[in-house]
Structures are given as structure tokens and as C-alpha cells.
Amino acid sequence: MNTLPLSGLKVLDLSRLLPGPYATLVLADLGATVDRVEDPAGGDPLRQMPPLSDSGESALFYGLNRNKRSLVLDLKSPAGRDAFLRLVRGYDVLVESFRPGVMERLGLGWDALHALHPRLIYCAISGYGQTGPDRLRAGHDLNYVARAGVLGYGGQTDGAPAFPGVQIGDIGGGSLFALVGVLAALHERERTGQGRFVDVSMTDGALAFLHMHLAARLFLGDEAPPLRRGTDVLNGGFAGYGLYRTSDGRYLSVGALEPKFFAGVCEVLGRPELLADGYSPGEAGARVKAELTRLFAEHPLAYWMERFTGRDVCVEPVLEGDEVLADAQLRARGLFARSVDTPRGRAVTHLLTPLRLGDTPLRPPPSLGQHSREILQEAGLSLEEIEKLGIQVMPGIG
């Protein structure tokens, strides 16, 4: 049998919405046992967020929570807190995404849990981190990338910042750095036998997307101007690296950064002389960009893709909507996996997480509290003790 690399790892997930659940989805897809602790009053708010299926189930929750189990506990009640303290002893990793101080007020913060279970790795994902003047400030992904300077670095020179459309801070700044921290702490634990507190700030993590540009700016100091959108090599300042509209309202991504690639683009356009000023600052470079804008706008996307077929010059179509589902490269990589969800009586296409080190299990997400009794019994609670908690499993599929 092919054993996944994280088989045997036990993760207790108290997080909600996107950053924590995506991190634990990756862990679950790699073989970890991930058990979600949810509030009895509705569970993860994502369960109620549209779009909803005909049965009223959130498609967003479904996409983030396969291969996990769910139990409900009222952590604000003494009985629920005590049950949690017994439960947590059996886990390797805890992930939570409350504002700083919430777990401490419940008596379940890092200090208390480390004293109880020294090998536990405790990962806290928050908007601004556990320290600093804004540690308790509310925010969402758009706010984090705005504060990190990432939002302000994209878009036209004299226009508005480019709305990212996807959750860069949540996934890139939160989920992925949480995974790095957890896996590093697991490696360290092999040597020391001790767990570690992993403080993940989504704003700090978002800043990493600006690392190359801002680190260079810091190195040059007063010799370099501040970063500005639409002017640098990789954010629209050069003709050979940008987006161009075609006559049918579609877009081409031209990533011909190196001269050998840009020369190929100019050759396809029938304008080899444009290479000379393609990397020039100021008006000369702007003229080349304007000419590319005019030329690409003369024909539809299909025409240009045919012209660039077989040419290794870093030009790709901007896929939109469901086009990504038909992309030959993505399909060949096995990112879309079809399975039958027997409890729901339907076939489902799963979007897999990018790193696959074996056959990804495709168990459907749990209904709220579906595994409460099972998980608590594994932690050593008797049926009588579980009944006293008053746990009610919400009706659902699974």
C-alpha cells in the first residue's frame, strides 16, 4: 500500500474560513488525520456561505474540507474546555485563526497547552500577527495585501491599483507560511522533543510577494526611487512584460522578459526593429509598448495563439472562467480529480492541492459534528462523559 508522507500525523484544526482550512487541507491530502473543532452554534461560518448546492450545502466549505473529521465543542463552557484539554494531548499540531488573546482567555493558549503537552506544535494564523500595535485589528485579505504594499504595486502607472481577485494574503501569506512553519517545527521536534509556537501574520506573509523588489530597494537606499506601480520591469514598465488586449476583448500575457524572447515576439509581429527600444526607459520604451498595444488589438486571441504556436517566446492566453478546466497542461498534471460522493449521490470533480506525493484520498467533507463521539472516544472520554457534554450532531450528509 502506498503510504502518504504525513500518515500518522494528527492535526487539531480550530481555524475557520480560508487560511487555516486550506493549510490543513494540504496536510490532510498528504495523509495527516485532520480533526476540526467547531462551535456547536453553526460551526465554521463558511458552512453557510454561498454558493449553495440544491441541498443547501456550501460549495466553498466542500472545496476546503475533504479528508477531515468534525467534532463540536463549546470551548467557553467548563465541560467543553476540559474535554478539549483531554483531547489535545493526542495531537501533534494545533492550528487556530482567532484574534490574538482569544485562546488565552479560554485558558487554552500556548503557555497552558505547552505545559500540558510539551511536544505540541501550536500554529496561530492572524491578520497582523501576535505582536505590534495592530495585532487586534480586524481585516481581510484585501486589507493585508494593501498594508503590505502588494496591492499598490500592481496596475497602470497613473491608475488605480489592480484588484487581485484572489486571496493572496490568505493563501500565500497565511496558509503556505503556516505549512512552512508547521513542517519546520515538526523537523525541529525530532531533534529536541519539544513543540513550538508558530506565529503567522498574513500581512507579513503577503509582504513576501514583494520581497525581491523591496529588498533591492532597501539595499540601494537613497540611490533608488520608491517602488511604484506600472514603472518597473515586472509590473508593467517594459513592453515585453505585460498584458495586451486583442480585438475580441480577450487578453494575451506577454512575459518575454529576456531579449531572446522579446526578439521572437517582435519577429512574429513583423516588427523586429522594436527590439532596439524595448528595454528603454521613458518615451522610447513607452512608444514600443504603445505599438505592441496597437498591433495586438488588430486581431482576435485565436489569431495570435495560432501565430505563436510553436514559438518558445513566453506568450500565453489569459484564460477566463471555465477555460482553465479544459487546459491540457493542467489536466495532464492531474489537478482535477473525479470521484463519486456516495453519501450525496453525485459525482464530484475535486481541485487537488498542488503537492501530491501519492494518491490523494477524496473523502467528502464532514457534516457538523459528524465525528464528535468517535473522536472523543479516541481521546478516552466515556460515553457517559460525552453525553454530559450535550453534543448534538447536526443533520447532514456524511
Q: pLDDT tens digits, the chain, 398 residues: what are they?
A: 469 999 999 999 999 999 999 999 999 999 999 999 999 999 999 999 999 999 999 999 999 999 999 999 999 999 999 999 999 999 999 999 999 999 999 999 999 999 999 999 999 999 999 999 999 999 999 999 999 999 999 999 989 999 999 999 999 999 999 999 999 999 999 999 999 999 999 999 999 999 999 999 999 998 889 999 999 999 999 999 999 999 999 999 999 999 999 999 999 999 999 999 999 988 999 999 999 999 999 999 999 999 999 999 999 999 999 999 999 999 999 999 999 999 999 999 999 999 989 999 999 999 999 999 999 999 999 999 999 998 765 544 54
Beta strands in the chain (DSSP E): 10-13, 33-38, 68-72, 93-96, 121-126, 197-201, 241-245, 251-255, 315-317, 336-341, 346-351
Give the per-residue pLDDT at 397.
Answer: 53
The question of whether 277 is a catalytic residue gets the answer no
All structural domains of the chain, each given as residue ranges with its CATH number in brackets, are 10-207+365-389 (3.40.50.10540), 251-319 (no CATH)
Catalytic residue among 170, 204, 277, 341: 170
- Kindly write down the DSSP assignment for every residue of 126-186, as one continuous string: ESS-SSSTTTT----HHHHHHHTTSGGGSB-TTSPBPP--S-IIIIIIIIHHHHHHHHHHH
Strand bridging mode 197-201 / 121-126: parallel
Grid coordinates of 112: 497552558
326 burial (CB, 10 Å; 0-12 / 13-18 / 19+) is: exposed
Query: SS3 of 272, please?
Result: helix
Q: Note the pTM of the prediction, 2 decimals.
A: 0.94
Size (the chain), residues: 398
Q: For residue 99, give the amino acid letter.
A: R
CA 146 – CA 131 distance, rounded (Å): 19
Give the per-residue pLDDT at 392.
Answer: 66
The DSSP H or E segment spanning 116 is helix 110-116
Give the per-residue pLDDT at 390.
Answer: 87
CA 268 – CA 262 distance, rounded (Å): 10
The question of whether 213 is a catalytic residue gets the answer no
